[in-house]
Structure 1
């Protein structure tokens, strides 16, 4: 592989990309409260999910030498103290309620922004990050003991049963103005982490019937020669795997299918590549080394005639494979996050994005969120339209899944988290490391 005009090895290439991606959390975090900005746009709010990814990334940064342990401890403590002490209640300007948190928070005050929802899934990412910190920072000193205590208290405070709203499955969230959202988590997706954390709670655990109700909504598909548990956007096959090592463990559904969720994500990754090779809509650039379709930023909601073909483009949207929507927008971060599942096709694609498409050139945080070679722009580069932003929700999985590929650090840490193991067992998982 090559980069920066000289040949470099796989380890150096991945370390460089990991370091660049982690720099987002160094520079886009409020040091007074630990909140991480959702994206690099002016006056944008913090994302609790991005903040959770930062909490999980600090241990990686310590291990990789990107950050001194003392600095990571200070950042982590600041973040956990903020969430523990911030206002919890039904007031519309609180930070959270029933142990869950609003999706977007003001970077300075930490209060709810945009009348957004109290988000169950984004709270799960935040709590997973806190639990990671609680396992990693294991020294016998006052600061690291406080990290462990706060992480435990935050997790125990989440009232998962309340978030069911008397239904069989979990709701997407709640608003003080209108109550629970009508949508519930159904169909295979990133909510695997949400359900496992809810099942493992020692204080307000989800009943075992809740997980069974969720998996009853699964959809098994046959696409491009692969049988797999379908979810269209690539990130849905990845984000729970950031924390949980699904290799060799199975629930009732996967025991019937004879595979595990790790293998399922490997197949979903190959379906993505095969879809790009097939390129049914004839988008520019799609190939065996140019794929990665997921929930992502886009060039804008508009219909334009391109080379005689009328094309519909979108803003931020849950793009998916093989049934769409798809407007030619590619997300490099989603490819990197599949690295543990299929390195044999991911590494050449990363190399292509860095060296042929030049997607990391002049970008301090590595890959920009997305690009679209089909969208007509006045540019000499082969990327076409390129998102002007970086997103914390993209940067974190890059750092963490590169590390899982290289050392399995996050997986090893969370194997030692008793709540995760309890949640998996109560959901019916067995085998392997369990």
Structure 2
């Protein structure tokens, strides 16, 4: 049952308002403004701390990495409590940096955990340098994601490498132990054989299996969540790809730039979705951009800030329009992405709408839609009782169906603390974009960015 909240968060609000309004030598207008800012800052701290804890307290102990899922009801579909995930793990190492900067843990604690993770990754199963989608946490052996998906997953590997390179920049000028971590990460980075995953063609393939070869046959092209994979492939100092792979494979010989207008906003790129909407789930605006800063980022195909901001605003406007008349949709409840649903895992978006809202969608969009995302954050923490648990907002809910489960997914919790921190301080964006290999890769593919102009 989704109900109104009457607990510590309400008391927090009262305390903040009282402190701000009781301060002397302020006009009532200034006091009200200060109270609002203090409340909003406090809520951001709370949600960042809770979601960070998913990756800190909730980590699988042998690997130190993010569990694929944590179900507070202890009901697991495949008894998979020990599965660790490479993509969610990459988001998690970035969340650990947020934990240091926000004072949740010390730098020394972070270093110890991150070295543990990096050592584990160096011994875990890899396939031409790429990790699989899932690993068995205690053993480091591949856990098949599906029958033929039992080998290298280049997209999940890219999400992990994005996180690791960000960590390396954070510790680059540190002490001897920190320098060792940086060197260990560089070794893992240089061992990924991005060029091998082209099969000699002008496109990157998502999967390869030692048992099934290229049978999954998934060339990655057309706009989706995978931009970071192509950028890292071009940036690799050891196994790089040529610009033709990006232009012909990812950009489909320029067809990726065939945009349209949806809810009055240009989509900027062609999302190549099937169905009634020319857009995608909102994780497409998050996963590649946890480290890759879209501010001022452009290439010959599009403006990536405009792309992501419009993507988030389209979701917001869709919720306001609410063409299906679902209960709850509006300015305080919006955002659709791949998450749990009444029918299992589903790729929610305007053209595939089951009446389910996924909190990570709006919360991870803070850099693009700060006002609209804050409205949603306030709704969750000040009004909606049962939607918040130990590790922050639960994965998904539906007022229309009076449904939610006390369950979490790493790939949904991870972007929340990271993208909120990018909104607040730019921390992860600034670190990743400083990496010299990344800068070379962006230049190689013809990108423009303010970070490429810095001396």
State the TM bucket, normalised to the shorter chain.
Answer: 0.7 to 0.9
Confirm or deny: 8 A CA contact 2:235 2:442 kept in the other structure.
Answer: yes
Measure how far apart 1:30 and its partner are. 2.7
Two-structure CA RMSD over aligned residues (Å) = 1.6
**Residue aligning to 2:328:** 285
Helix, strand or coil for the counterpart of 1:100? Answer: coil
Distance 1:284 1:360, change over 3 A: closer
Runs of 5+ consecutive residues of structure 2 not aligned to the other structure? 1-7, 17-38, 272-278
The DSSP-based 3-state class of the residue aligned with 2:395 is: coil
Matched, 1:232 2:267: no
* 2:68 paired with 1:29: no
| 1:371 aligns with one of 397, 400, 406 | 397
Cα deviations across residues 239-278 of structure 1 (Å, max 9, x unaligned)? 2111111211310112xxxxx2112111111110111111
User: Could you tell me whether the CA contact under 8 Å between 1:31 and 1:75 is conserved in 2?
Assistant: no
User: Given that residues 368 and 390 in structure 1 are in contact (C-alpha distance below 8 angstroms), is that contact kept between their aligned partners in structure 2?
Assistant: yes
8 Å contact from structure 1 (residues 55, 129) kept in 2: yes
1:202-213 maps to which residues of 2 (within 5 A)? 202-213=237-248
* Equivalences for residues 10-409 of structure 1 within 5 A: 10-41=40-71, 42=76, 43-44=79-80, 45-86=83-124, 95-114=125-144, 115=147, 116-117=149-150, 118-180=152-214, 181-213=216-248, 214-215=250-251, 216-218=254-256, 219-228=258-267, 229=269, 230=271, 231-254=279-302, 260-300=303-343, 315-321=344-350, 324-361=351-388, 363-375=389-401, 384-409=402-427
**C-alpha separation between the residues in 1 aligned to 2:190 and 2:172?**
19
Shift of the alpha carbon at 1:199? 0.6
* SS of residue paired to 2:240: coil
How far has the Cα of 1:177 moved from its partner?
2.2
TM-score by length of 1: 0.87
Partner of 2:20: none
Shift of 1:297: 1.0
Q: Secondary structure at the match of 1:33?
A: coil
2-structure distance, mates of 1:403, 1:431: 20
Q: How many Å separate the matches in 2 of 1:108 and 1:59?
A: 24
Q: What is the deviation of 1:217?
A: 4.4
Say how many residue pairs are matched: 395
Runs in 1 of length 4+ with deviation above 4 angstroms? none
Matching residue within 416, 428, 431 for 2:434: 416
Task: Tell me the secondary structure at the aligned position of residue 220 of structure 2.
Answer: coil
Deviations for 1:359-409, whole angstroms, at most 9, x for unmatched residues? 554x1101000001222xxxxxxxx21133111111211110110011000
Distance 1:210 1:387, change over 3 A: farther
- What is the TM-score with the length of structure 2 in the denominator? 0.83
- 1:332-366 Cα shifts (integer Å, max 9, x gaps): 111111000110211111111222223554x1101
Alpha-carbon deviations, 1:127-173, whole Å to 9, x = none? 11111111111344332111101111111111111111223211121
Once residues 200 and 359 of structure 1 are traced to their aligned partners in structure 2, the CA distance between those partners, rounded to angstroms, is 44
Name the SS for the 1:341 alignment partner.
coil
The answer on whether the counterparts of 2:297 and 2:305 sit within 8 Å (CA) in structure 1 is: no
